Amino acid sequence: MGLEIMDDVRRDYIYNLVKRGKREDGRDFRDYREIKVEKDIIKRAEGSARVKIGNTEVLVGVKLEPGEPFPDSPDEGVIITNAELVPLASPEFEPGPPNEDSVQLARVVDRGIRGSEAIDLSKLCIEEGEKVWIVFIDIHVLDNDGNLVDAAALGAIAALLNIHIPAERYGLSSSEGEDTNTLPIRDKPVAVTMVDVGGEILVDPNYNEEKAAVSGLTVITNTDGTISGMQKYGREGLAEDKISEMVEIGIEKADELRRRFL
Amino acid sequence: MGLEIMDDVRRDYIYNLVKRGKREDGRDFRDYREIKVEKDIIKRAEGSARVKIGNTEVLVGVKLEPGEPFPDSPDEGVIITNAELVPLASPEFEPGPPNEDSVQLARVVDRGIRGSEAIDLSKLCIEEGEKVWIVFIDIHVLDNDGNLVDAAALGAIAALLNIHIPAERYGLSSSEGEDTNTLPIRDKPVAVTMVDVGGEILVDPNYNEEKAAVSGLTVITNTDGTISGMQKYGREGLAEDKISEMVEIGIEKADELRRRFL
Amino acid sequence: MGLEIMDDVRRDYIYNLVKRGKREDGRDFRDYREIKVEKDIIKRAEGSARVKIGNTEVLVGVKLEPGEPFPDSPDEGVIITNAELVPLASPEFEPGPPNEDSVQLARVVDRGIRGSEAIDLSKLCIEEGEKVWIVFIDIHVLDNDGNLVDAAALGAIAALLNIHIPAERYGLSSSEGEDTNTLPIRDKPVAVTMVDVGGEILVDPNYNEEKAAVSGLTVITNTDGTISGMQKYGREGLAEDKISEMVEIGIEKADELRRRFL
Amino acid sequence: MKKEGIELIKDGKRLDGRDFDELRPIKIEVGVLKRADGSCYFELGDNKVIAAVYGPREMHPRHAQDAKMAVLKYRYNMAPFSVDERKRPGPDRRSVEISKVSREALEPVIIKEFYPKTEIDVYVEILQSDAGTRTAGINAASVALADAGIPMKDLVSSVAVGKIDGEVVLDLNAVEDNYGEADMPIAMVARRNTITALQMDGRMTKEEFDKGLKLAMNACRQIYELQRTALIERYSEM
Amino acid sequence: MKKEGIELIKDGKRLDGRDFDELRPIKIEVGVLKRADGSCYFELGDNKVIAAVYGPREMHPRHAQDAKMAVLKYRYNMAPFSVDERKRPGPDRRSVEISKVSREALEPVIIKEFYPKTEIDVYVEILQSDAGTRTAGINAASVALADAGIPMKDLVSSVAVGKIDGEVVLDLNAVEDNYGEADMPIAMVARRNTITALQMDGRMTKEEFDKGLKLAMNACRQIYELQRTALIERYSEM
Amino acid sequence: MKKEGIELIKDGKRLDGRDFDELRPIKIEVGVLKRADGSCYFELGDNKVIAAVYGPREMHPRHAQDAKMAVLKYRYNMAPFSVDERKRPGPDRRSVEISKVSREALEPVIIKEFYPKTEIDVYVEILQSDAGTRTAGINAASVALADAGIPMKDLVSSVAVGKIDGEVVLDLNAVEDNYGEADMPIAMVARRNTITALQMDGRMTKEEFDKGLKLAMNACRQIYELQRTALIERYSEM
């Protein structure tokens, strides 16, 4: 009960701020918090990135291992995206198998990478129908102060850039030229998440703003401005024009993030 | 506590009816409720049947997929029977892994099909020791108003009749004549379930009668009148002569159902 | 609450006994309870032993089956040690997947066998990189009156001695001489567990002594007096000299057990 | 993730003969289950789904209760035989996500404050699948909630749009989904123009998105009329 | 499901030399475990099983308690080394069904009303298996319940009959079970002629069934005497 | 279990140039996470671990509460990308055992009586592994507990010793662990000379053990100073 009252108080506080054109941390409605991206920080991974957006911190590691292709695409590599909301990152996260929040986080990030066809999966075939490279994208959340999706998506694409395929480790020498051992990345999908608080669109909601919002939208867009993934959240609906506006903001902010960090 | 009292009231109600020679829905003790069997209603399945017995409704789908044989029968197909008591079908069913009721349902149906040797498993070998057809019999309960076993068993054998082996889909062309692609069914086992209420044998118990009964028996019998499966239920015992009578009724009613629906 | 008080009472009782130089069952501090080891009591297992230490009773069965080697040791057999604290053995054991106590029990026993290199794993290769013998050591606890580790470790090595590799059953005839079908055991690791109660070291704690102790140590030693495994337990620390003394006792008692039972 | 090599549009028509803005045939039956408090069978082309609603009923465990309102639960589940390759029973990541999105699609219309401390359970079973099961499930669930007498502000209607052979089209079937370029399921309170679910995967321009959204919203209005008609028929029978 | 190719009967005797109506050797030990409230070790030929009983004890979770009587639980579990091919630890579908059937076999004799809100736990471990483990388990459990002082109306006895080489025979061993034509385990309150468990698989005529049932019931009466004797010996020792 | 064929010591130095009694470089950062009540990032050579502490907080489920003191929980978890071959998410037997041993390593210093009925949660994530993660985790957790303000009698410090090429050496790295002869992690309340965790696998003589224990205890004293310094710096910043 105590906690529920706290929720109401926080919601009112955020709502009243927004109504006066303000945000808790002084940002403009369209501004991200400070972003830091560090690449290649995990030796054991083929690629990795640590992304901080304000106090939110996400570590993404990418590993490649040989494995079986899906029966319906025998000559293509496989992407497996997984998110762990480890209890270290928030008092609300509990140990255990993936729940709907971690599943959704992984699947939204995954969808952006797939939709943009950022990874050329046809280059990841080792032996048709038998063996292909499995690309494991593991999202490890370290500190949750809101907007995990944007941090995870940015970390995923940052970690994917510049990956060396570990052919030697698995005794799979590549007969052809040396650059066949680099994972080819064809696009740079970037996620931008917005929430609706009191009818206003806030970009990059922090934890309290997420809790105060009644609905939200993630828009994932590509270098050419096309959309490669979307997901609506929350217990209330969104009007058509609001969605359209969010998509426009999404394209614009993604472009900015892409130029600054990728 | 409230629910327990309701259980007692219902038990007394059913018991008193039976003592006066009556059943809740006006049937004779040896009568089934109205039965409907619809076949081949699921396109994606190699065989399917929807069975309604009164308000009880069960959907059975059969799929065939190539898989590994058991080590001790390398040249035989495999039957896997599974029952899902999905929470859609009853306020008492809960989501989650199979519990003892769904396991028992699946195993009793499975035993009838195995015992009768209805499926000639030796015809389901693709490559000895390596690859055989796995016959998945999936029992999906949609509405539980009692006597799931008879509905599921009837649905299973109805779905198994007239199955086309999907050799093409898996690139397994059959070199021999064309009828090798039909699943050979050699018998038609039919389950008949009875309960004991106040010393009387009721055929095809509905939900309330099941709850009021202290014991029950399923008898599965074949075209030639032999028995290919039995299972006793309940928290009280049954006398030898009662069991013998139930077996006789089981043979007789199964014959009737077989002629009407299979 | 009642149970907690009982715990305190028992702890005080054991503590006060020890302070007067006594143990609940009249033993000296350095004595084991009566030990019985029966070998080859389970026909279906390649090796088995039942060990009783006082009222504690553990059954260990060893089975060998062909399976895949680990990628990093393609020409070596695999040891899998598993412990089941089945609820039959104690009112405190609950059905379900392994918990930290059963995992620790299995791993400590496993460590002793691995550390001593008792099993020559290079002799268990069937086909390099493809097929090796998996040695399943299954610890089945039947009655827990304390010191499961020593009983399980003694049972494991007793069961491992004199094992016939079941090559025939799996159609794997051994081309060479007949003694290739005996599992070669190169050492006899023995575990000795001690606890600290009131500053005194008690060997082979029974259930009540385990509960009363604040810390304990298992020392696993080999025929030549070397150590091949250790594990400290409990919610308090141990001083260096106490550990050193325990190791000496461990070596001495292991030697005694080895001579008497292996 | 889309595969190439199949021509999905010929002479301005889709492979199944439909126009770009044409729904597959829809069939709705209300109150098809006896044990459930409300139920609905929904066909969308070759999709066959059934929804049941139980509740409001006491919520277990108690510490999960909400003192101010009912808790809505939604379980999307595929029958093992509903797809070409047998689906292993039990939830997978896809069904966990669909359940969450579908619940949020319905939440805006349910007046949960009427029944504090209770839960309302929506169970959706996919009996046969041909792309579009999540939208069919939401449509079925919406009608089943009404059939169960759950107080609602309005019905929710759902459909997907997508892009095949470069064209924005309504309500992809399985072949179109497998070989198409994008898929975007939405849910909507048709009479209020409020979008309550929106997912998208594949690749689309902003213009295609705008066009697709309008197409979907129009189709939701059609579906709404069918849902309404089915409910009216059901209650005029009674 | 039965395989062919082995002659199971020669010169009117079974492969292990038994007559058609002959039980395998039985050994019963009562009170073999210290921690359990009651226990029994039971051998039936090469089957070695042990049963322990705990309770009546407080039931958790509380909402599963029955205000009017004790709840009986039964867990049948095979040790990994009890069978030729190592059994993976943990319950499988077979053991879940056997646990249910065994619990129902014992329920009719237990006076559960004496201990409302409690649970009585029966744990059966199969240490070595040779066909007939479920019947051996029920026999062991019945004695262990008595050893634990659980109030019972009578003991339950259990045995299987089956059909091999066309003959109805008592108490199949593993070879007979693998190559035979039918198997039918039953449990019975021997002194009341009440059948409390009955399962059958394979294929039998009605006449064979009748014959088998009589054979099994007679054997249960023999087993009952052995159970009774074992209990009497145990208590005369004490 | 150790493999042969790699020379681990050349000219009296280890492959990474360290002396036998030399620790790998250590880096400690305190208070690195915002949401946690206390946290610590700890590097030991190529090991990168992070620990967070939550609590004391109300314990669920209630029946697991201890009326006299707080319950300490410890979860050691490896990130999937922390090792060469991807680790499947979720606990395995190794991490279950390490969690238990690590919890017992810390328990002796925590004054649990101050917070009855609560739980104190320690979560340790291994981000990059190079042998020694459990000791790095205990070191990080000890500092994180202090950072969270949990009342403690002292800090706990932890390190492993082992045997490679016949020599007893401090703080094995992954190559040394894979090809060495023994490994022995310990934890210690450095200022009290009390060993709170001790595990050993491989093979050692009693003399090697004694030597190794002394080596480890000395190293723990060094680590203790680094932990203390890191905490002092943290609080002098504030």
B22-79 per-position pLDDT tens digit: 999 999 999 999 999 999 999 999 999 999 999 999 999 999 999 999 988 999 999 9
Query: How far is A77 from chain F, CA to nearest CA, in Å?
Result: 17
Is E153 an interface residue toward C (CB < 8 Å)?
no
Q: How far apart are CA C202 and CA C27, in angstroms?
A: 10
> Do E and B touch (≥3 CB pairs < 8 Å)?
yes
Neighbours of A256 (CB within 10 A): 12
Q: Which of B6-15, B182-191, E126-135 has the lowest mean pLDDT?
A: B6-15
Side chain identity at F216, as an amino acid letter?
A
Which residues in chain E are contacts of B222 at CB distance < 8 A? 203
DSSP readout, E8-44?
-EETTEETTS--TT-PPPEEEEE---SSSSEEEEEEE
> Do F and B touch (≥3 CB pairs < 8 Å)?
no
Query: How far is A226 from chain F, CA to nearest CA, in Å?
Result: 31
What residue in F sits closest to C73 (Cα-Cα)? F3
Which residues in chain A are contacts of D108 at CB distance < 8 A? 235-237
E137-190 per-position pLDDT tens digit: 999 999 999 999 999 999 999 999 999 999 999 999 999 999 999 999 999 999
Is C247 within 8 Å of F1 when comparing Cβ atoms? no
**Dihedral angle computed from the Cα positions of residues D144, D150, D154 and D158, in that order, rounded to the nearest 10 degrees:** -30
Q: How far apart are CA D142 and CA D189, in angstroms?
A: 10
Interface test with E, best of B226, B242, B248, B252 (most E CBs within 10 A): B226
Side chain identity at E2, as an amino acid letter?
K
Percent of chain C past pLDDT 70, that is, above it, reads 95
B104-148 per-position pLDDT tens digit: 999 999 999 999 999 999 999 999 999 999 999 999 999 999 999
Q: At what angle do helices F133-147 and F206-237 cross, to 10 degrees?
A: 30
Is D213 an interface residue toward A (CB < 8 Å)?
yes
Instruction: Classify domain A26-261 by CATH architecture.
Output: 2-Layer Sandwich (3.30)
Is the pLDDT assigned to residue C180 strictly greater than 70? no
Give pLDDT, residue C182.
Answer: 84
Which pLDDT band, with edges at 50, 70 and 90, does A4 fall under?
low
Is F36 an interface residue toward A (CB < 8 Å)?
yes
Is B169 within 8 Å of D84 when comparing Cβ atoms? yes
The partner residue sitting opposite E193, judged by closest CB among B100, B104, B239, is B239
Show the tokens assigned to B105: 């349902």
The partner residue sitting opposite C107, judged by closest CB among F97, F108, F197, is F97
Which residues in chain A are contacts of F53 at CB distance < 8 A? none
Is E199 an interface residue toward B (CB < 8 Å)?
yes
The partner residue sitting opposite A238, judged by closest CB among D67, D93, D195, is D195
Is F198 within 8 Å of C107 when comparing Cβ atoms? no
Query: How far is E211 from chain C, CA to nearest CA, in Å?
Result: 33
Q: What pairs with residue A63 in β-bridges?
A: A136
Is A115 within 8 Å of D206 when comparing Cβ atoms? no
* Domain regions of chain D by residue span: 19-237
Which residues in chain A are contacts of F75 at CB distance < 8 A? 87, 95
Q: What pairs with residue E122 in β-bridges?
A: E53, E74
Give pLDDT, residue F115.
Answer: 95
Query: How far is A26 from chain D, CA to nearest CA, in Å?
Result: 30
Query: How far is F211 from chain A, CA to nearest CA, in Å?
Result: 33
Spatial CB neighbours of B36, under 8 Å, sequence gap ≥ 6: B50, B51, B52
Q: How far apart are CA F18 and CA F6, in angstroms?
A: 17
Mean pLDDT of chain C: 93
The partner residue sitting opposite B235, judged by closest CB among E99, E107, E182, is E107
Give pLDDT, residue B177.
Answer: 47
Please indicate whether residue B230 or residue E60 has the higher confidence score (pLDDT): B230
Best CA proximity match to E209, nearest among B252, B221, B187 = B221
The partner residue sitting opposite F200, judged by closest CB among C230, C234, C237, is C230
A176-191 per-position pLDDT tens digit: 544 568 888 999 999 9
Is D204 an interface residue toward A (CB < 8 Å)?
yes
pLDDT per position in chain D (238 positions), as tens? Answer: 445 568 999 999 999 999 999 999 999 999 999 999 999 999 999 999 999 999 999 998 888 899 999 999 999 999 999 999 999 999 999 999 999 999 999 999 999 999 999 999 999 999 999 999 999 999 999 999 999 999 999 999 999 999 999 999 999 999 999 999 999 999 999 999 999 999 999 999 999 999 999 999 999 999 999 999 999 999 887 7
The secondary structure of residue A123, as a DSSP letter, is G
Is B142 within 8 Å of D85 when comparing Cβ atoms? no
DSSP readout, E70-116?
PEEEEEEEE-TTSSSSPPPSS--HHHHHHHHHHHHHHGGGB-GGGST
Give pLDDT, residue C4.
Answer: 61
Which residues in chain F are contacts of C70 at CB distance < 8 A? none
Best CA proximity match to B151, nearest among B200, B207, B198 = B207
pTM: 0.96
End-to-end CA distance of chain B: 45
Which residues in chain F are contacts of A44 at CB distance < 8 A? 81-84, 128-129
Please indicate whether residue B203 or residue C181 has the higher confidence score (pLDDT): B203
F19-237 — its CATH code?
3.30.230.70
E90-99 per-position pLDDT tens digit: 999 999 999 9
Which pLDDT band, with edges at 50, 70 and 90, does E4 fall under?
low
Alpha-helical segments (H) within chain C? 2-19, 100-115, 148-160, 207-212, 240-261
The partner residue sitting opposite E206, judged by closest CB among B232, B238, B251, is B251
Show the tokens assigned to B219: 């008898």
Is D195 within 8 Å of A107 when comparing Cβ atoms? no
The partner residue sitting opposite C143, judged by closest CB among E33, E86, E127, is E33
Please report the sign of the dihedral spanned by the C-alpha atoms of residue E90, residue E91, residue E92, residue E95.
Answer: positive
Give pLDDT, residue C237.
Answer: 96
Residue found by looking up tokens 């003394």 in the block: C245
Spatial CB neighbours of F23, under 8 Å, sequence gap ≥ 6: F44, F159, F170, F171, F219, F222, F223
Is E54 within 8 Å of C42 when comparing Cβ atoms? no
Give pLDDT, residue F1.
Answer: 41
* Domain regions of chain C by residue span: 26-261
Residue found by looking up tokens 């009427």 in the block: D114
Query: How far is D84 from chain B, CA to nearest CA, in Å?
Result: 5
Is the pLDDT assigned to residue A72 strictly greater than 90? no
Query: How far is F180 from chain C, CA to nearest CA, in Å?
Result: 12
Query: How far is C10 from chain E, CA to nearest CA, in Å?
Result: 17
Its ipTM equals 0.95
The partner residue sitting opposite A237, judged by closest CB among D85, D93, D189, is D189
Which pLDDT band, with edges at 50, 70 and 90, does F237 fall under?
confident
Is A97 within 8 Å of F90 when comparing Cβ atoms? yes
Dihedral class, residue B49 (left if φ above 0, else alpha if ψ from -120 to 50, else beta): beta
Q: How far apart are CA E27 and CA E6, in angstroms?
A: 29
Give pLDDT, residue C3.
Answer: 55
Which residues in chain A are contacts of F33 at CB distance < 8 A? 57, 88-89, 142-143
* CA distances for D60 relative to C238, D64, D100, D200, E61, angstroms: 46, 7, 19, 35, 13
Is the pLDDT assigned to residue F40 strictly greater than 90? yes
Which residues in chain C are contacts of E34 at CB distance < 8 A? 55, 143, 145
Give pLDDT, residue D139.
Answer: 98
Is C236 within 8 Å of F182 when comparing Cβ atoms? no
The contact set of B with E (CB < 8 A) is: 1, 4, 71, 73, 98-100, 103-104, 106-107, 111, 114-117, 217, 222, 225-240, 243-244, 247-248, 251
Please report the sign of the dihedral spanned by the C-alpha atoms of residue B172, residue B175, residue B179, residue B183.
Answer: negative
Which residues in chain D are contacts of B61 at CB distance < 8 A? 79-82
Give pLDDT, residue B180.
Answer: 65
Which residues in chain D are contacts of B88 at CB distance < 8 A? 33, 36, 39, 50-52, 123-125
C150-170 per-position pLDDT tens digit: 999 999 999 999 898 998 888
Interface test with C, best of F199, F215, F220 (most C CBs within 10 A): F199
Is F42 an interface residue toward A (CB < 8 Å)?
no
Q: What is the mean pLDDT of residues E103-118?
A: 96
The contact set of C with F (CB < 8 A) is: 1, 4, 71, 73, 98-100, 103-104, 106-107, 111, 114-117, 217, 222, 225-240, 243-244, 247-248, 251
Is the pLDDT assigned to residue A104 strictly greater than 60? yes
Is D7 an interface residue toward B (CB < 8 Å)?
no
